[in-house]
Amino acid sequence: MQNFALRMKTKVEILAPAKNLYQGMFAINAGADAVYIGAPLYGARTNATNSIEDIAELVKYAHLFKAQVFVVVNTILYDHELADCKKMIYQLYDIGVDALIIQDMAILEMDLPPIVLHASTQANNRDPKHVKFLKDAGIQRVVLARELNLDQIKDIHDATDVELEFFVSGALCVSFSGNCYMSIAGGERSANRGSCAQNCRLPYNLTDGTGATLLSSSHLLSIKDLDLSDQLPNLIEVGITSFKIEGRLKDLVYVKNNVSYLRQRLDAFLEKNENFVKASSGRTIFNFEPQMDRSFNRGYTDYFVNKRKEKIGSWESPKSKGQYIGKVTEVTPKGYFIENAEELNNGDGLYFVNPAGEGDGVQVNVILNSLVIPNNYKEIEVGTEIYRNSDAAFNRLVEREDATIRKIGVKMIFSETETGFALQVMDEDGHTTTSSFEFEKNPSNKGAQSLEEIKKNLAKTGNTPFVVDEIEVNFADFWFLPTSKVNEIRREVLENLIDVRVNEYHREEYQITKTDHPYPVTELDFTYNVSNKMARDFYKRHGVTEIEKAFEIQWDPGKSRVMTTKYCVKYELGKCARFQRATMGEKVVEPLTLTHGENIYKLKFNCKPCEMEIWEKDAELEYIDEDEQMWK
């Protein structure tokens, strides 16, 4: 009955980024239930690709802990790439990968092995009908758009039983994911092809409809990073079962710190909620105190999960802001006196906003009698808030291999046989293995003490992935056994248990079959990113009659819409007639224009759906001066 009850519990996972094999293994050690890693080709981060051999090693390591490995194959594909993509998918299936994260519907048209497919957030998964369609087409999990609020997530969950995944920490794309074309329009690097140039992190000048400059050299499209760690219970309640951390290009400290922090937060929830269970095996020992603000961040926001309620821009700088320390209380020709300076260390990086309103920084050289002396002295005004965006001591601590240690609990039963002894080991998941050896039985002159010494040596699991929770020694007498024999059989049986766990790992499989249920709409514009014949055939079979080509193969320079976003520059300025009418003062004169070098963009505000569009300079837009300041 107990096993049945366990099966009925809902598994909840932490999904961590893996830039490479090394970081993937450490993410698992820190408590990740699953990791996602880039394939050799066709992943949306061209700087985070991995060989089939490295992915195979990660799969073996992950499966030891019943953790999963998802491989990212989420670029749009061109016709000449389809055959190579299919070949790679077979290779990934053969090495035991648990699932692929995809954007291009051409993959659903391929003759594939029975590998599970997840729909990437690049597929713009914001609508219940769209998500249900994907589930009915064979998609087993959908990575939801980050702009969704709790009510919208619940609506999607109510519409379909597909697994739902949601980002809970890390950098945010300001655009609807998969629908940003600024990078290719500004420099012919396609985000949907894995080469985003991050135009959203550049400084822009903002001018109004009269030509007046409202802001100069401000990072107007750069937004804070996401932190939904205190929303985990609410997200579980509305149907999320996978909590995703952004960061396949981040460093090891970021990955270990964020995974560890969320592991502790989720475990605290699971301890009090018997209907949910951790999605993998083992337990993590933390030899540091994880704090998300001590690794890369631009300041934090809950984005729109609780609807629009605060400003989310990070206009001073797109660089890491880090952990708040305190204000500057006094300035000398050599350095600064800062509140809470005792928390700082030599080598720390400090962040502040300079008198020009720009993000700036210095590095601590030494701290003498509370005076913070930098390597590169810069003028900082008294009262300036200081943040630490590089914590030298913390980084050294987290980078250590023993910062996080993951162990699987085992029970050992050491018994005598007719001709010697046998050691049986059972782990927390019920996997069992036994090793034995022949040895002449002679009474020990230490009596009962000999049993304690045997137990002590059996418990020494060292660098293995196991920890001994219970030991039984079933002897008819106090037999003498050399320590070397006890150690030898312990090593042998634990090595065998590793093989047993990996070999008995159960991978979920699903065979895609072609469907013809109707897609929710019959006309697709370029934002559906249809870039090959197979994707076109997929949509046609599902009732779509008109399909525009992807932006990358039909871009009309200077005249295109390059972004749609829930982020709103007018709201950030305090000039939103919908939410800030009482305090907004005079309306801004539209159209508002962003300029960076030769790149010029017009802003279009759709107040009814509460969205902002960004258009290239030559686009012809009709403006209607209504009370809601809406564009047609």
Architecture of domain 2-174+222-279+290-294: Alpha-Beta Barrel (3.20)
**pLDDT value at 19 more than 70:** yes
416-430, 525-539, 618-632: the lowest-pLDDT one: 618-632
- pLDDT-derived band at 557 (thresholds 50, 70, 90) equals confident
Q: Provide the pLDDT for residue 189.
A: 87
112-147 as b/e, with b when 16 or more CB fall inside 10 Å?
Answer: beebbbbbbbbbbbbbbebbbbbbebbbbbbbbbbb
Collapsing DSSP states into helix, strand and coil, what is residue 276? strand
Q: Provide the pLDDT for residue 5.
A: 46
Amino acid identity, residue 316? E
**pLDDT value at 449 more than 80:** yes
- pLDDT-derived band at 102 (thresholds 50, 70, 90) equals very high
Domain range list for the chain? 2-174+222-279+290-294, 322-401, 409-503
How far apart are the C-alpha atoms of 256 and 230, rounded to whole Å?
19
Tally helices (H) and strands (E) across the chain. Answer: 14, 30
Structure tokens that stand for 37 in this block: 């890693």
pLDDT tens readout for residues 150-185: 999 999 999 999 999 999 999 999 999 999 999 988
User: ∠ CA 175-178-181 to the nearest 5 degrees?
Assistant: 70
Residue 494 parent element (H or E): helix 483-503
pLDDT tens readout for residues 575-589: 999 999 999 999 999
Amino acid identity, residue 71? V
How far apart are the C-alpha atoms of 258 and 229, rounded to whole Å?
10
Residue 184 near residue 557 (C-beta atoms within 8 A): no
pLDDT above 70 coverage of the chain, percent: 97
Collapsing DSSP states into helix, strand and coil, what is residue 82? helix
Place of tokens 């992935």: 465
Residue 266 parent element (H or E): helix 252-272
- pLDDT-derived band at 7 (thresholds 50, 70, 90) equals low
Q: Provide the pLDDT for residue 186.
A: 75
Amino acid identity, residue 277? V
3-state secondary structure 285-311: EECCCCCHHHCCCCCEECCCCCCCCCC
| DSSP 8-state code for residue 510 | -
How far apart are the C-alpha atoms of 48 and 361, rounded to whole Å?
28
Residue 26 near residue 255 (C-beta atoms within 8 A): yes
Q: Provide the pLDDT for residue 632.
A: 41
What number of residues does the chain have? 632
Burial of 401 (0-12, 13-18, 19+ CB in 10 A): exposed
Residue 165 near residue 143 (C-beta atoms within 8 A): yes
CA 299 to chain centre: 17
| DSSP 8-state code for residue 442 | -
Residue 44 near residue 122 (C-beta atoms within 8 A): yes
R_g of the chain, CA atoms, integer Å: 28
How far apart are the C-alpha atoms of 58 and 50, rounded to whole Å?
11
Concatenating the DSSP letter of every residue in 388-402 gives EEE-HHHHHHHHSGG
Concatenating the DSSP letter of every residue in 201-218 gives GS-EEEE-TTS-EEEEEE
**If we measure between CA atoms, which residue out of 160, 162, 194 comes closest to residue 180?**
194
User: For the domain bounded by 409-503, which CATH number is listed?
Assistant: 3.30.420
Helix axis angle for 21-29 and 252-272, nearest 10°, is: 30
* φ, ψ at 191 (rounded to 5°): -65, -35
Structure tokens that stand for 81 in this block: 């790439």
Burial of 238 (0-12, 13-18, 19+ CB in 10 A): buried
User: For the domain bounded by 322-401, which CATH number is listed?
Assistant: 2.40.10.170
Pairing state between β 283-286 and 225-227: unpaired
**pLDDT value at 626 more than 50:** no
Q: Provide the pLDDT for residue 624.
A: 57
How far apart are the C-alpha atoms of 21 and 140, rounded to whole Å?
25
Is cis: bond before 591, omega within 30 of 0?
A: yes
How far apart are the C-alpha atoms of 44 and 102, rounded to whole Å?
10
How far apart are the C-alpha atoms of 465 and 407, rounded to whole Å?
5
Place of tokens 């009908």: 129
Residue 199 near residue 186 (C-beta atoms within 8 A): yes
How far apart are the C-alpha atoms of 38 and 55, rounded to whole Å?
9
564-582 as b/e, with b when 16 or more CB fall inside 10 Å?
Answer: bbbbbbbbebebbbbbeee
* φ, ψ at 481 (rounded to 5°): -140, 130
**pLDDT value at 526 more than 60:** yes
Residue 38 parent element (H or E): strand 34-38
**If we measure between CA atoms, which residue out of 118, 111, 120, 113 comes closest to residue 140?**
118
203-212, 391-400, 550-559: the lowest-pLDDT one: 550-559
pLDDT tens readout for residues 390-432: 999 999 999 999 999 999 999 999 999 999 999 999 999 999 9
